Chains A and B, each alone.
Chain A
């Protein structure tokens, strides 16, 4: 070996590791400039599209190999029966002299076309590398999966097929592929770009081999059967066609696959499972992937870690031998927990790792089973969604969602955000989606507007009816949604079904059922109102007041007794034998009701409302009433007691956020506390070192 050989190798090494050709050549000493064309040649050879096996061929070969594994003693020769050698085509040309010139021209065209096809098959030049974006911390690239020639890389550099990328602690980067697909590599990850190519028309072919760390993938919907996006891990592989998902490989080779949107097929030698939006699975090397399950992520302080049951942020979950616990988290350590919600309802942790900040939020995924006013049922879990909840688009019953939540002092789960995990809205129904029509003047009213049911039992169902009394066809009501409020007593469950309608035509009556569960011997009064309507939002004054008495001392009536005009009165369907009293009130005016709350402080009476305001209705009072779903008269009652509209707004907001009766909040204010102090007192304050009891069992 000469010095020139060594120098050439050094320059080529720099080129292979991303140094620009110009700088490599410029770095040559004067006397070694003869190496410059050799380096340029290497750069050219590296850049041209080289032949590749077609996807079908490589798949067929993989199948052959898999079959060979199953038959290890078989003779493996002649594995491809289609193998045929080429014929001696050259003989013919020399025997037909007159055709020689023509053959030459044809050959020229043919080879030129081949060259063109070769270039075309190579796909866009930028398809053969991914661009590194958002690199932070220490990111390194090696020239191949088995090389240790690491070099640091930064944003803007290109990572090529075959190269291996690793990230260190508190580091990360995103690989941007030519069609817009992104792979974000988290800290302590080790990923090889095993295969990377593409064709014209955004055909992307990617195979990543992930041996450690977490990767998040946002895959642009792949085009054509030749497109592929595959992530290989020691315990299974994930293949997708347009989706967002992440893969987390633990140091023991156990992999966790989680899907945000779309579908991912997870497979290994033993089995395959299909994950849909919101689901996750885990796979151990050499074992079948586990059944798909919805997932959770908890962030906060460890408040208990006894045996297999831990509690983080008030949520208990199970730790198994497969749970990867990073560091040594103790009670009062701040951690992030990722896991899956098993069919049985048990929350099982896949990974627990310490975190330094408290920026992460707790969340879980599931299918929306019911929406009843501000109460959502998501895969069996009840969450409160109030005015501070950020509701995403395309939310409806049956859709997969992610619920980001916090736990209120009373143990209820308050949804901070609910977002749909399904990208496309549901199939359109025969009724087109209503659009706002400023000329439509619907007139919605409950008929009747008052119902009373008495029965022996704890579960009651009452039918109600909502009528659009408008007469002209144009006066349709659009996007109608009901709300409810328990104005007296306590109910453990209140549900409205259905709770919304896209359209209620002029003259149309829609029926709904109110389900209430209450304690035996108790009375509950529920007010149902129209929470939302698009075309004429300022007319929503009609209320239905339902009084439910659980009493076993009543004289039972086999069939509900209805008031006159029973034909227009919805038939109650009590789960217990009941006495029903329906009152038909022709006007939608509200009947003032005193509503003593647990604090003993009654809600303000509406008496005298018109005596303390110059306007009737008062616009701000109306606005607050609609916003919080309480009667206008109640709002005005507080106003007439001396509270400003701003204070009323704040009190109801705090009431919903903290789950504390609004009367208690006004009492606190009356006691002389400032609003800041009230807010502080209502905020949850976990006690350090003192495990927080798990109020409001999050389990089914």
Chain B
């Protein structure tokens, strides 16, 4: 029933039904915001980009085809593209500062945090991972996205995502162990 309803939702959203669009925002904005927060590392920027994701959703919704990709994966593709664009812009504008922000400057959780796992030191630890590893960790375990949809979002096979998932967890664990952050 939901699949039919979800399909109906999308059709109505494509027609500009503001109520349904509001529902889609309610349903997905938390996951999108969290993904962007861990991706860009800054709350204010994540808020702005979240808003932009949904504005772009409106713009591109008429072209969305449910048979190609799930709606959630499509939305996260928009978010990921925005995050990549944002990173490039920051790199062009202030490459030194961006590097400081993303690596050494924030990479001292042994000094800066307590020894429990928090969203702050998770974010810092994720900065040590590759973009794809970070995406997989956040999409899978912060936004609870199924493997299949992560695969759609990152344009990879499900098997690739499973391998990426294990490697990402190993890398994250090593970083947290290095910083003596306890999580179990």
Interface residues of A (CB under 8 A from B): 1-2, 4-6, 8-9, 12, 16, 35, 37-38, 40-46, 48-53, 57-58, 61-62, 64-66, 68-69, 72, 76-77, 79-80, 83-86, 88, 90, 104, 107-108, 111-112, 114-115, 118-119, 143-149, 160-164, 166, 190, 192, 194-195, 207, 209, 211-212, 230, 232, 234-237, 251, 253, 268-270, 285-286
Contacts and interface: CB of A to CB of B under 8 A. Distances in A.
Nearest to A43: B184
A4 B165 CA distance: 11
Contacts of A234: 5, 8-9, 12, 20
B100 A90 contact: yes
Interface in B30-87: 30-31, 33-34, 37, 42-48, 50-52, 54-56, 58-59, 70-72
A269 B18 contact: yes
B160 A143 contact: no
Nearest to A87: B97
A100 to B, nearest CB: 13
A238 to B, nearest CB: 12
Contact of B159 (A1, A52, A143): A1
Given A44-B183, A61-B50, A38 B29 contact: no
A521 to B, nearest CB: 62
Nearest to A39: B169
B1 A90 contact: no
A143 B54 CA distance: 23
Contact of B23 (A42, A76, A163, A232): A232
The range of chain B's interface size is 35 or more
B45 to A, nearest CB: 8
Contacts of B163: 1-2, 5
B58 A65 contact: yes
Given A38-B173, A146-B71, A195-B26, A44 B34 contact: no
Contacts of B100: 90
Name the residue among B9, B19, B56, B100 with the largest chain A CB count within 10 angstroms. B19
List 9 tightest A-B contacts by C-beta distance, closest first.
Answer: A44-B183, A1-B159, A76-B55, A269-B19, A269-B18, A40-B184, A111-B112, A5-B162, A38-B169
A144 B144 contact: yes
Contacts of A211: 1-2, 5-6
Question: DSSP majority for the A interface?
Answer: mixed
B12 A286 contact: yes
B25 interface: yes
A146 B149 contact: yes
Contacts of A76: 52, 55-56, 58-59
B170 A38 contact: yes
B113 interface: yes
B154 interface: no
B48 A45 contact: no
A115 B114 contact: yes
Given A16-B144, A38-B173, A52 B120 contact: no
A299 B116 CA distance: 58
Contacts of A2: 163, 166
Contact of B120 (A84, A118, A253): A118
B91 interface: no
B25 A45 contact: no
A185 to B, nearest CB: 14
A565 B85 CA distance: 98
A115 B27 contact: no
